[in-house]
Structure 1
Amino acid sequence: MLQRFFIFCSGADTQILETCSNGERNKYAGIGATVFFTAVMAFIACGYALYTVFDNVFTSIFFGLIWGLLIFNLDRYIVSTIKKRDNFKSELMQAAPRIVLAIIIAIVISKPLEMKIFEKEINQVLLEEKNAMTLANQEQIALQYNPKIENLNQEITKLKNEVASKEAETNALYDTYISEAEGTAGTGLLGKGPVYKEKREKHDAYLAELSQLKEGNAQKINAIEAQIAALGNDYTTAVTNSQPIIDGFDGLMARINALGKLPWLPSFFIFLLFLAIETAPIIAKLLAPKGEYDYKFEEQESVVATWVTQKVTQRKLLFSTDGELNQKIYEDIKNEEELYRYKKEKAQELLKLQADSFHKVQIKGL
């Protein structure tokens, strides 16, 4: 039962193989098993690749099954259409397009399985890329907010400098009127005279202005700091909203690119393995000598070809003979007097009818 299934997978003629030896049937069963398991590997590879895209098991299984059946049909067709000939070069020329197709199929099958085999290494590469993208994203978003925040910080510094400058002037006036009272500066007279009073009043006026300036600038600073906090919140929100896009950067294309950044030798050996599996039935057919099945299959084809050639030749002869007979028959009929008289009578009747019809039309027109 299993042997019959694998023979069906090989694309061989089961009726011819039933008349062949057991060894010949085993050979084609082995070829069919290779075709079948290649399709199974294609199903697994496609299912995994689509799972990384859709993240849905049932969708991946459905489309993976379709892809596996497609690869199975292609491989079965490739193997079944290679015919053994007496010239190896002609066999190789016949198999060349099929080998190219087998190479393409091997590449398509091997890549998803390579991604699964090197999944941990690929995840590490993706993690590094995500971290780099996160930092680059933060820097890029910061370019939108940093200039505004810097301008606001400069305004705060300016307001604080105004307060500090006013405070320094007020402190200087304080030192001046104290020195005047102590007699260490100004008039040099000890006590609180008119000059002291004048300097004290000036200091008090600056002190009042300083108090108002501190209050006004403090309100302005609080408002600016609120703007800075709002910009900081906007920056944090922008980074938070864009982070899921970076976290989701692990699709099929990203994994293929990450696989390309890994050392090429392990991937190359896996590709060679699948290439060997995919081309094994073709190479086996090319290298194997002409067997019992090949001779019987060639005989069956030659019988059909001979029968078709005979039918075509007979139809051509029949057409040629029928044409010659028709020509001779019409030549003989042309010389018969009876047929001539009959045609003449009919022509005369037709002319009379045409004349009568034309006469009636003319009278009706008058």
Structure 2
Amino acid sequence: MLKKFFLTCSGVDKNLINECSNGEQNKYVGIGATVFFTAVMATIAGSYALYTVFDNKYAAIFFGLIWGLLIFNLDRFIVSTIKKSDSKLKEVLQATPRIILAIIIAVVISKPLELKLFEKEINQVLLTKKNQMTLDNKTQIAQQFTPEVAKINSEIEVLKQEIVTKETETNALYQTYISEAEGTAGTKKLGKGPVYEEKRAKHDASLLALNKLEIDNSEKIKNKETAIATLVEKQKSAETKSQPIISNFDGLMARINALGELPFFTSFFIFLLFLAIETSPIIAKLLAPKGEYDFKLEEKESAIKTWATQQMQQREQMLQADISIDNKVYKDITADEELFNYKQKMARELMKLQADSFYKKQQKML
């Protein structure tokens, strides 16, 4: 049962292979088994690759099976179409396009399994990238809000500086009228005279202006601090909204790029392994000597080719014979006087009818 299945996988003619020896059958059983297990590896690799895309195991298994069947069909076709001949160079030239196709298939099959084998290392690379992307994202978002925040902060500093300046001016006026009262400055007269009253009034007016300025500027500063808090909240919201995009940065393309950053030779040797698996049926058939099955297949194809050539030649001869007979028959007919007179009579009748018809049309037009 298993032997018949692997023979089917190898793409051989079962009627011919059953007439061959066990050794010849076992050779093609081995080739068929290689084709089958290559398709199994392709199914596993394709399922994992598609799972990283769809994140759904049922969809991944379904499309992975389709991919495995496609690879199986391609490998079976490649092996079954390589014909053995007496010239190794001719065989190699015949197999070259198929080997190139096998290399492409090996690349496609090996890459998803490399992603699985180096999953931990790839996750580390992706984590480093995500962290850097998070920092870069915060920097880019901050660049949108920082200028506005800095502008509002500078406006707050101006308002605070206005209060400090007015406070300094008021304190200076306070010292002035106190010194006048003590007689240490101004008129240098001890007591509260007219000059003292004048300077005291200036101080009181400045103090009232300072109190009003503090109230007004405090309200403005409070509003501006609220605006800064709103901008900071918007900045945090923008960072929060963009973070899931960065967190989901682990798709198939991202993992392939991360794999490319790992040491080359480890990944390359895995590729060579799958290349050896994929090309092994072709290499085995190229290295194997021309066997019993190949001779039987060549004999059968030669017989069919000879029969087809004979059929074509017979049809050509029949055609030539028919042409010769027809030429002779029609040549004899051309000399028949009775047929000539009959056709002449019919031609006259036809010309009369044409003349009558033309006359009637012209008569209607006039």
Question: Partner residue of 1:340?
Answer: 337
SS at match of 2:12: coil
Q: Offset of 1:295 from its aligned partner?
A: 0.9
Matching of residues 221-260 of structure 1 within 5 Å: 221-260=221-260
Q: Offset of 1:363 from its aligned partner?
A: 7.5
**Aligned partners of 1:301 and 1:259: how far apart in 2?**
49
SS at match of 1:249: coil
**Aligned partners of 2:318 and 2:47: how far apart in 1?**
59
CA 344–243 in structure 1, closer or farther in 2 if over 3 Å, else same: same
1:63 partner amino acid: F
- Residues 137-158 of structure 1, C-alpha deviations (whole Å, 9 max, x = no match): 1111111111110000000000
CA 352–186 in structure 1, closer or farther in 2 if over 3 Å, else same: closer
Question: Partner residue of 1:309?
Answer: 309
Question: Partner residue of 1:27?
Answer: 27
Q: Offset of 1:185 from its aligned partner?
A: 2.4
Structure 2 unaligned blocks of 5 or more: none
SS at match of 1:19: coil
1:161 partner amino acid: Q
CA 53–192 in structure 1, closer or farther in 2 if over 3 Å, else same: same
Question: Partner residue of 2:134?
Answer: 134
Question: Partner residue of 1:271?
Answer: 271
Q: Offset of 1:192 from its aligned partner?
A: 2.5
The answer to whether structure 1 residue 299 and structure 2 residue 296 are counterparts is no
Question: Partner residue of 1:113?
Answer: 113
The answer to whether structure 1 residue 177 and structure 2 residue 174 are counterparts is no
The answer to whether structure 1 residue 37 and structure 2 residue 34 are counterparts is no
Q: Offset of 1:66 from its aligned partner?
A: 1.1
**Aligned partners of 2:288 and 2:265: how far apart in 1?**
32
Question: Partner residue of 1:124?
Answer: 124
SS at match of 2:157: helix
- Residues 108-167 of structure 1, C-alpha deviations (whole Å, 9 max, x = no match): 111111111111111111111111111111111111111110000000000000000111
CA 168–360 in structure 1, closer or farther in 2 if over 3 Å, else same: closer
CA 7–171 in structure 1, closer or farther in 2 if over 3 Å, else same: same
**Aligned partners of 1:274 and 1:8: how far apart in 2?**
23
Question: Partner residue of 1:193?
Answer: 193
Q: Offset of 1:174 from its aligned partner?
A: 1.5
Question: Partner residue of 2:145?
Answer: 145
Q: TM-score by structure 1 length? A: 0.95
1:24 partner amino acid: E
Mean Cα deviation higher: 11-20 or 356-365: 356-365
Question: Partner residue of 1:351?
Answer: 348
CA 321–71 in structure 1, closer or farther in 2 if over 3 Å, else same: same
CA 359–293 in structure 1, closer or farther in 2 if over 3 Å, else same: closer
1:77 partner amino acid: F
Structure 1 unaligned blocks of 5 or more: none
Mean Cα deviation higher: 183-192 or 115-124: 183-192
Question: Partner residue of 1:289?
Answer: 289
Q: Offset of 1:308 from its aligned partner?
A: 0.8
- Residues 50-75 of structure 1, C-alpha deviations (whole Å, 9 max, x = no match): 11111111211111111111111000
2:342 partner amino acid: E
1:270 partner amino acid: I
Q: Offset of 1:313 from its aligned partner?
A: 1.3
**Aligned partners of 1:302 and 1:291: how far apart in 2?**
17
Q: What's the % identity of the aligned pairs?
A: 61
CA 325–55 in structure 1, closer or farther in 2 if over 3 Å, else same: same
1:99 partner amino acid: I
Q: TM-score by structure 2 length? A: 0.95
**Aligned partners of 2:112 and 2:76: how far apart in 1?**
22
CA 249–349 in structure 1, closer or farther in 2 if over 3 Å, else same: closer
**Aligned partners of 2:2 and 2:296: how far apart in 1?**
24
**Aligned partners of 1:225 and 1:135: how far apart in 2?**
26
1:324 partner amino acid: S
**Aligned partners of 2:173 and 2:346: how far apart in 1?**
148
1:351 partner amino acid: R
SS at match of 1:191: coil
**Aligned partners of 1:90 and 1:205: how far apart in 2?**
112
Aligned pair count reads 363
Question: Partner residue of 2:219?
Answer: 219
**Aligned partners of 2:325 and 2:130: how far apart in 1?**
88
**Aligned partners of 2:332 and 2:354: how far apart in 1?**
36
1:5 partner amino acid: F
Q: Offset of 1:331 from its aligned partner?
A: 2.8
Mean Cα deviation higher: 152-161 or 299-308: 299-308
